[in-house]
Amino acid sequence: MVLSSASQRVASAYYKRLRSDELGTGFGIVLAEHILRERYPGHMVSLIPADTALQAGWALSADDGRHRKGQGSLSGRKQRLACFFEVWKPGEPSRVFPADFRGNHSTPASAHRQLADSSARVEAVHIGPWNRTPCMAFSTALDTERPITVYALEASGSDRPLGPPSGNLDRRVESRNEFPGIDRPDPRGGPAENVPGFHIEPENGEWFQRVLAHTAMAGLAAFTGDGEVASGYLTEGQGKKYFSAFAHSVTGSIRNVHGEEFFGLPFTGTDHVFRLGDNRLDAFSGIPKYLFDLVEERKVEQYRREVHARMAEWSEKPVIWDERWGGPVSRHPDGSVLAIRPLHRST
């Protein structure tokens, strides 16, 4: 198939936008995690997709079974923030930071517009008292003629923990049907105005802390390829049925690799084969077997104690070249590993 010059330009612009979005997200996540670890030494930092977390309590679209008549869905997916960062330590209440990331191949003016858009996204989520939520927004400029530049905005908020220590993160998350909206106080003392958004009231802090912890555990289980375990951490509104349903072999992944050893520990997880140009690569994703046992048994509190105890050790060498494996191995402080190597054809 031969594309016309106009079609080629459209395709090129599409892939350029795709790359800028992906790289902008990557650079933003790395910078945000670095800032939070420096700011809160001795704490773990977990990244949780905002849509998945919010779906535990709010209907995000008219297709959601909890959608109320006359409620009207919130603004589209493109208008919702990217993620939450949970800064946590076992036995303590969490600190939560809404964050959003953008990227572009254009001028600083484009970054300014992106930051303005991201500001609206992060300000649509309030945790605790009105207008006291710390949040961050990042825009990465990928100019081929200049150094990569990351523009950032931050609202410091009150740095208030999410709520009292849960004491039992092992308890299942109950699904809720909250009405979306934020009550904005009238500076003149009149009635509050309800504006679009999500508000986690102070009395719901313990519940939302469990939502974040369980959503992170579901992501960890999915990273190993075990959809059944992941579904056990999710509510119906979060898509529990999609993880427990049959998955086609082209799109699904199965936890089918056991005993693979990295950093002196046996791992369990899944592997994928993909192409990079003319080369075929083998990628393994998983976590140490003893940690997966805790994830599978829904022992969230014990899992968090274990990874926090080894946080400093696992942060020392986040990337190594493993001669036995035959390629680079990247380790995250939560114990998860991504390993990649060339896949040689048999002769």
Query: d(Cα 314, Cα 143) in Å, to the nearest integer?
Result: 34
The predicted structure's pLDDT at residue 100: 96
The predicted structure's pLDDT at residue 3: 54
Instruction: Say if residue 63's pLDDT is above 70.
Output: no
pLDDT more than 90, % of the chain: 56
Stretch 48-62: mean pLDDT, rounded? Answer: 88
- Residue 166: band (very low, low, confident or very high) from pLDDT cuts 50, 70, 90: low
Q: For the chain, what is the mean pLDDT? A: 86
The contacts of residue 92 (CB under 8 Å, 6+ apart) are 161, 165
The predicted structure's pLDDT at residue 64: 59
Query: d(Cα 337, Cα 287) in Å, to the nearest integer?
Result: 6
Lowest average pLDDT, out of 54-58, 63-67, 159-163, 207-211, goes to: 63-67
The predicted structure's pLDDT at residue 46: 96
- CA-closest candidate to residue 33, choices 20, 23, 44, 42: 44
Stretch 41-60: mean pLDDT, rounded? Answer: 93
Model's pTM, two decimal places? 0.88
Reported in sequence order, the residue ranges of the chain that DSSP labels E, i.e. its strands, are: 44-49, 83-88, 95-104, 125-127, 135-141, 149-155, 182-184, 193-195, 198-200, 257-262, 265-276, 279-288, 319-322, 327-331, 337-342
Give 234-249 pLDDT, tens digit per residue: 999 898 877 655 554 4
The predicted structure's pLDDT at residue 245: 53
The predicted structure's pLDDT at residue 61: 66
Per-domain residue ranges of the chain: 11-62+75-164+202-243, 255-342
